[in-house]
Amino acid sequence: MKIDGTEFGSITIDGETYPHDVLIRLSGKISKRKKKLSKKLYGTSHIMALEEAEFVYEKGCRLLIVGTGQNGNLRLSPEAAEFFSNKGCEVLAEPTPRAIALFNKAKGMIGLFHVTC
């Protein structure tokens, strides 16, 4: 799997363009991000809530790469950050274009990519 690139509002993976945030599982399965899990608590999808973190995490994951948006606006809540830390899962959060480069070099991780701001 290779992430080809991103533009504001979309991400292209293996030649297919997704017009929404995506979650890439350890298996390589791609799904739409469940940002409602965070939005219902914070009123925005720019803060990852604990409930979303619990959904994102998979047993055995040691690395989560988070694309924080084109301008880097997404962040983890303190509870979400603590959750990943307690699971032994390192989180690398970078603006989406940089996160894509990290994802394409790494192996055995989950990727969550915010594609707007």
Q: CATH number of the domain that 46 lies in?
A: 3.40.1230.10
Q: Is 73 helix (H, G, I), strand (E, B) or coil?
A: coil
pLDDT of res. 48: 98
**Per-residue model confidence as pLDDT tens digits over 24-50:** 999 999 999 999 999 999 999 999 999
Number of domains in the chain: 1
Q: How many CB atoms lie within 10 A of CB 60?
A: 10
Reported in sequence order, the residue ranges of the chain that DSSP labels E, i.e. its strands, are: 3-7, 10-13, 16-18, 22-24, 30-32, 47-48, 63-68, 75-76, 90-94, 110-114
Give the domain extent around 66: 3-114
**Per-residue model confidence as pLDDT tens digits over 92-113:** 999 999 999 999 999 889 999 9
